[in-house]
Structures are given as structure tokens and as C-alpha cells.
């Protein structure tokens, strides 16, 4: 089973969403293998199927001044934030090649980050019995939200590398009011680049998700398609 990796750099949310929708159809037609998009967004708030308007705490004027946009999308879950310093991964995968088990697929995505955080940064992270994602104590470091269309996944994960954590104060993240957010920088004081974080993620995909080969032509980089990047 092969995985193709595409490193897109900083890219607008709508552009990335349109690309995902196109790749879902390509994957369904078996014209491409499973594909992982690695990227960074300008400030954006996304609202999943369970989100409500009251999840957004910041006034519209504050969001506009910060250049933040709001999107309602088809993934599961509630409201989350994406922005600079956060590594976003969109996973276009055929669940039929992953034992047709969505919960297991999500479990494996979480496992990627539990292993990565321990092995790369000596951070002890874990799952939470109540909330999806990867947590360090009571603080989330990786959010996960997946949508499935006729057996093909889209959306994916958001890994806080050196994210501005104050921006999570604009929302009620994932409907959770009694827990916080953290990042690699906040926990270690290290300025890890998104290129380095991308490499660390890709290295763990074969063992955890069962890929026998990985095509990653831009390994070691984090190139720009639109806007600015590292």
C-alpha cells in the first residue's frame, strides 16, 4: 500500500478544501493512492457538523482585523482554529484498505502523534477517554477531525507546533470549556520548523498505518503555494 505526500506550504483554506474534494474523487476512481496533504493555513475558524454559532467568542470586528475567516465544513466535530505555526494534515484515504474501520483509522492517526511527541521531543502524550485527539495532561496538542464520503476520508489533523495559542481564545475549541491548548514550543521552548515537524510525521506513517512505500518528493522542505511560509 502506497502513500503519496504533498507538502503545500501556507495555503488558503478554500483552496485546500477544493483540492481535497478533487482528490477524494481521484482516490475513489483509484487514479491516485492514499494521499497526505501537509500544509499551514492563515488564521481560520472551521465549524464542523456539531458546531453552533455560540462557539465563536471573538467579535466579528476582532476576527476581521486579524484576517481570520470562518468556514462551515463537513467533518465531524465542532469548532476549531487553524493558523500559522500549526501543521495541518489532510488525509485522503480509502477506508477499504484500512480494515473499513473509521475508529481504528482515527486511533492510528492519534498513535502517530503519541509516538512522535515521545520520540522527537520527550513529551508524554495520550488519548483522552472523552475527547478525540492527542493530549498532554489537560491540554490538547493535536486535534483530529475526519469526514468520510463513500469510503474515502478527508480532513485530518492539526498539530500545534509553534501556534499562537491565544487565538484559541477566539472560540470554544471542540465544545470543550474546561481544558486548554498547548504546543511543542510551549512545552519545550524549542522553535521546531514546520518542515522538521512534517518530516517527523511522515516517518511514522508507514509503521502505524501500514504503508509499504511513501512518495515524498519535497521531503525536508515546507514550500509555499500562496502567501508566506517558513
Q: Which residues are catalytic?
A: 174
Dihedral sign of CA atoms 175, 176, 177, 181 in order? negative
Q: How many CB atoms lie within 10 A of CB 216?
A: 19
Residue 90 dihedral angles phi and psi, to the nearest 5°: -105, 125
Beta strands in 41-186 (DSSP E): 44-47, 69-72, 79-82, 86-92, 134-136, 139-149, 152-160, 180-181
Beta strands in 28-105 (DSSP E): 34-40, 44-47, 69-72, 79-82, 86-92
Amino acid at each position: 500500500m502506497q502513500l503519496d505526500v504533498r507538502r503545500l506550504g501556507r495555503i488558503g483554506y478554500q483552496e485546500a478544501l477544493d483540492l481535497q474534494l478533487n482528490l477524494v474523487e481521484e482516490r475513489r476512481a483509484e487514479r491516485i493512492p492514499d494521499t497526505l496533504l501537509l500544509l499551514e493555513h492563515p488564521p481560520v475558524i472551521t465549524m464542523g457538523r456539531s458546531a453552533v454559532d455560540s462557539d465563536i467568542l471573538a467579535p466579528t470586528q476582532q476576527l476581521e482585523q486579524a484576517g481570520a475567516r470562518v468556514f462551515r465544513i463537513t467533518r465531524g466535530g465542532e469548532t476549531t482554529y487553524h493558523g500559522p505555526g500549526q501543521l495541518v494534515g489532510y488525509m485522503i484515504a480509502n477506508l477499504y484498505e484500512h480494515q473499513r474501520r473509521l475508529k481504528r483509522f482515527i486511533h492510528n492517526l492519534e498513535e502517530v502523534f503519541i509516538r512522535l511527541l515521545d520520540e522527537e521531543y520527550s513529551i508524554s502524550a495520550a488519548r483522552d477517554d472523552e475527547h478525540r485527539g492527542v493530549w498532554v495532561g489537560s491540554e490538547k496538542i493535536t486535534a483530529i477531525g475526519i469526514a468520510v464520503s463513500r469510503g474515502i476520508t478527508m480532513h485530518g489533523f492539526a498539530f500545534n507546533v509553534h501556534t499562537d495559542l491565544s487565538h484559541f481564545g477566539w472560540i470554544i475549541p471542540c465544545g470543550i470549556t474546561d481544558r486548554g491548548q498547548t504546543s511543542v514550543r510551549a512545552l519545550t521552548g524549542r522553535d521546531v520548523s514546520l518542515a522538521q515537524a512534517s518530516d517527523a510525521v511522515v516517518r511514522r506513517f508507514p509503521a502505524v498505518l501500514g504503508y509499504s512505500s511513501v512518495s515524498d518528493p519535497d521531503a525536508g522542505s515546507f514550500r509555499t503555494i500562496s502567501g508566506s511560509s517558513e
